[in-house]
Each structure stands twice: as C-alpha cells, then as structure tokens.
Amino acid sequence: MRAEDTPSDPVRSGVAGAAAKPDSAGLFGPDSVSWRVLREASVVVGGLRALLMHAAHPLVVAGARHTGMYERDPWRRLERTLRQTFAVVFGTREEALAASKRIDDIHGAIKGIDHVTGQPYDARDPDLLLWVHACLIDSFLVLERQTVGLLDDADRQRFHEEQMIGVGLLRLPRERIPGTVEGLHCYIDTVVANGTLRLTPDAVRVASIVRDPPPGVPRRGLWPIVSFLAFHTLPPAIRALYGVRHTSRHEVLLRAQGLIDRTNRPILPQRFRFIAPAVVAERRHRGLPAPSVTEVGLFLARPPRHP
C-alpha cells in the first residue's frame, strides 16, 4: 500500500489548532502531556526499545538499511533522527514544521525491494508508518510508567492523541491510527501474532548497537541499565525473538530499577533529568535567551546559563 501524495485533512486541522498557540509554544506547548513526558531523559530510553521493535519488522529495517544507517556511524545517524523528532515536539511551530518536512523528504527517497522477503518497501507506506509510530508511543508510555509514573489513564490517552498531530505531518492519516491507547496495544499484539516480525541480519545489527554502543555515546557509563531497560521492557514475543532470557529474577530487577528511578528522579539536577531540547523550549517559552532546539544535542553538557 502506498501513501497519498498529501497529508490528510485531520492533520491540517490539528496543526491549525496548534496555530492558536504562541509560536514559542510550538505545536504542543508546556501544558501538553507531550512536553511533560518527552522532556524526561529516562523516557528517551523508549526510543531504543522502539528501535528494537522497528528492526524486527523486515520492511521497516530494510528502509533503515537503504539509508546506510548501519555502515556509516550508525549511532550518530540515530541521534540525528532523535534530534529531528524532538524538534517537532519542542521546537517553535516553524521549527517543528521544518523538521517534519525534512523527515518526510528523506522518507520520499526510501523505497525499493527487500532482499529478505522479496516485498516492496516505501517509507511513506501508511502500514509501515503506523508500525513505527505505534512502537514509539507504546515505548514512551512504557518507560514513563517504569521510570516516572505520573500519568493516569486520561493523561496517557491525551499523549496518544497529541502525538497523532506530529505523525500526521509525516502523511499517516489519523483515521489509520487506533483511537485509544488500548487499541494501539491491540494493534501491536496483532502484528506480533501474525508472523510479520522476524530476526533478520539487520535486526541483529541493531540489537548489537543497543547492547554495546560505540565509544562516544552520551552517558555510556549508564549503558548497562539503558540496555537492560530497552530489552527487558519489550513485549515478551519480541524479547524472545532477540533471544533475551527474562526470568523472575529479571522481573525483580526491572521492578527494583523502576523504584530507584522513580525515587531519585525528583532530586536529580536538571541536566540529568531533562533532555536538552526540552530545557531550551522551556527557556524560550519564558522569554529567556535560548538557542534553537536544532542547535543542541540530546543532553546538556553543563547546566544552562541564566542571564
């Protein structure tokens, strides 16, 4: 199935609604659940969990291979992708729309025939976009519950609905997305159960990056915890696909790590607790000097300077 040539009307209406906000608020703003969830550095681990889920889909990982992600500094390419994603969430409206266009332009060039399945792939295919989106939303919510634990069911639903605006800018029609968080879970369970996912050589490469990233990755000293969370919070069938052994001992460790994260989170310095684009966005919205979210990395190297 191929994507339409233009974004769907519901997306235009969502962006039109965001236009009522001041430009400093971007598409979402500080009162949104999206800002509350995605500012947390611990929730970014959900991006790695989602990456493992994406890589298990042979047509999605074929698109990543098409870009040369695994041959040329894969971690930096992944970091650039995450920075573009967070520019949509935390950038001004102009920055968010520009970042979405850049991602969509890249998607437009990613198409071909997967040599593993023999099937065509197209990064603008709504079926593939939905899998990528669903994995991200599910993963961010799983890591929020694991490491922060402040959202109730209504907040989780609101986060899901807010994120439909961002993915709509990438040509995924809103009517293709399950309307509820529970529906999103059912969709993921259906894909897992229907035999689509498999452990390809490219999926193995992704898993090796998550297990043992290259030197220079931010906060590499925390990586044993990061990798543990990314693998052991996966849906059981995908965890098994990657050969991850998950026993009652691992479950106890997972719960203990969650308790430690939720307890320590309120007392962490800002530069460890929040990602850099979120700090920049908050300063910008308060009218303080701040760089563009596209000019900062994922994490703060030092505390922000206040005038």
Q: In the chain, what are the helix, strand and coil shares in percent, each to the nearest 5?
A: 65, 5, 35
**How large is the average pLDDT for residues 281-295?**
91
Q: What percent of the chain has pLDDT over 90?
A: 72
Whole-angstrom distance, CA of residue 135 vs CA of residue 157: 15
HSE-up (13 A, CA, CB side) for residue 117: 21
3-state SS class at 113: strand
| Structural domain contains residue 104 | yes
Q: Is residue 280 included in any domain, yes or no?
A: no
Question: What confidence tens digit (pLDDT) does each residue in 42-84 have?
Answer: 999 999 999 999 999 999 999 988 877 666 566 766 777 788 8
- pLDDT tens-place string over residues 124-138: 999 999 999 999 999
- Number of domains the chain contains: 1
| In a domain? residue 189 | yes
DSSP category for residue 234: S
The reported pLDDT for the residue numbered 306 is: 46
Tell me if 55 sits within 8 A of 230, measured CB to CB. Answer: no
Q: Residue range 187-215: average pLDDT?
A: 93
Q: What is the pLDDT of residue 298?
A: 83
Work out the number of other CB atoms within 10 angstroms of the CB of residue 102: 14
Could you tell me if residue 301 is inside a domain?
A: no
Residue with token string 């961010």: 140
Closest CA relative to residue 55, chosen from 229, 196, 207, 188 = 207
Mean pLDDT of 283-295: 91
Contact 44, 133 (CB under 8 A): no
Is residue 112 scored above 90 in pLDDT?
A: yes
Sheet strands (E) in the chain: 111-113, 120-122
Asked, for residue 59, whether it belongs to a domain, the answer is yes
- Residue whose C-alpha is closest to residue 301's, from 262, 270, 266: 270
The whole-angstrom distance between residue 253's C-alpha and the CA centroid of its chain comes to 24
Q: What is the mean pLDDT of the chain?
A: 88
Let me know if residue 1 belongs to a domain.
Answer: no
Residue 62 lies in a domain: yes
Q: Nearest to residue 234, comparing CAs of 108, 139, 94?
A: 139
178 within a domain of the structure (yes/no): yes
Rounded to two decimals, the pTM is 0.89
Domain that holds residue 262: 9-275+287-295
